[in-house]
Amino acid sequence: MIKTIKIWIAAARAPFFTAAVVPIALGAVTAWYNTGIFSITLFLLTLTGGIFIHAGVNLINDYFDHRSGADESNRNPTPFSGGSRTIQKGILTPAAVLRGAIACFAAGSLIGLYLNYLAPGNVILIIGLAGIFIAFFYTAGPIKMGYRGAGEAACAIGFGPVMVLGAYYVQAGSVSWLPVYASVPVAVLVALILYINEFPDHDPDKEAGKNTLVVILGRKRAVKLFFVSIAFIYLWPPAGILMGFLPISSLIVFFTLPIALKAVKTAALKYDKIEELLPANASTIGLHLVYGVLLILSFILARVL
């Protein structure tokens, strides 16, 4: 039983669940900052549902990347790219992975339907349907967003505004521009996790016809977009403060600059070297987590102080 659980945790790529935890926590905290309302029960339900959906995303991606041959043609997988490899290693069959994905989507959807029942209107239902659509058709046909240069944008929307606004509405029972604005740097960062992880997969993705932005732009041009995006996330909070969206305490995200600079420096020098690029992959994941936590903390500090 324990061995089976460990296999599914690996297949679902659980260490990457921070990509769901951060936006859901941000949505709940911005609701508390704006309204003074916070329910730990609703938060835990939202978090559980979001993690199930994220697990479904990872599993369904493995299934369809196997079907397309993208993961099979990847001869140099890394801890950050190339899928979980559970299908390629014969640990799980493709059919089992597909069933697991459907089960995770079903569990997340049931929680979402319950939250929609508790909340006024059908806003959670609409947001949830948008999230499921993005999650499934990221790699599934006929849309296959990840294969048509739209995967990074889809990832940003799904793990940014969709999750943050959904978590906000569960708590507040209303919509606001605050969670949408606050979600943008988190959305960019989660897209950058996907983006930097596409650099090692450039060749196998190209062979399989998976046209990620890195494949479309080529590594040399693609790395410049990585730099611009990193700069953008540090311009966004000051702009938000000036426009009255964000509290001045949000400037604490600048404490993450050393992590960002490490990612940028490594990417600049090693963008075409798989193993030597790994510190940039790890730094980008760390940047998303620490930046997100500090942004969440900034709303807590602003509310308390």
Supply the pLDDT for residue 140. Answer: 79
Rounded-to-10 torsion of CA 139, 141, 142, 147: 30
Supply the pLDDT for residue 88. Answer: 83
pLDDT tens readout for residues 202-256: 888 888 788 888 999 999 999 999 999 999 999 999 999 999 999 999 999 999 9
Which amino acid belongs to residue 98?
L
d(CA 166, CA 24): 8
Confidence of residue 125 (pLDDT cuts 50, 70, 90): very high
Please determine, for residue 169, whether its predicted confidence score (pLDDT) is greater than 80.
yes
Supply the pLDDT for residue 148. Answer: 87
pLDDT tens readout for residues 182-191: 999 999 999 9
d(CA 209, CA 246): 41
How much of the chain, in percent, has pLDDT values that exceed 70? 95
Mean pLDDT, the chain, rounded, equals: 91
Confidence of residue 74 (pLDDT cuts 50, 70, 90): low
Q: Which of 116, 112, 108 has the alpha carbon at shortest distance from 56?
A: 108
d(CA 54, CA 224): 29
d(CA 254, CA 39): 30
d(CA 119, CA 117): 6
At residue 119, the 3 state secondary structure works out as coil
Cα 259–262–263 angle (5° rounding)? 90
Write down the domain spans for the chain: 2-304
Residue 125 near residue 137, CB atoms below 8 Å: no
Token digits for 277?
């690029």
Full DSSP string of 181-245: HHHHHHHHHHHHHHHHHTTTTHHHHHHTT-B-HHHHH-HHHHHHHHHHHHHHHHHHHHHHHHHTS
End-to-end CA distance of the chain: 48
Residue 280 near residue 273, CB atoms below 8 Å: no
Please determine, for residue 160, whether its predicted confidence score (pLDDT) is greater than 90.
yes
- Give the predicted TM-score (pTM) of the model: 0.92
pLDDT tens readout for residues 78-90: 666 666 778 888 8
What's the Rg (C-alpha) of the chain?
19
Confidence of residue 300 (pLDDT cuts 50, 70, 90): very high
pLDDT tens readout for residues 19-62: 999 999 999 999 999 999 999 999 999 999 999 999 999 999 88
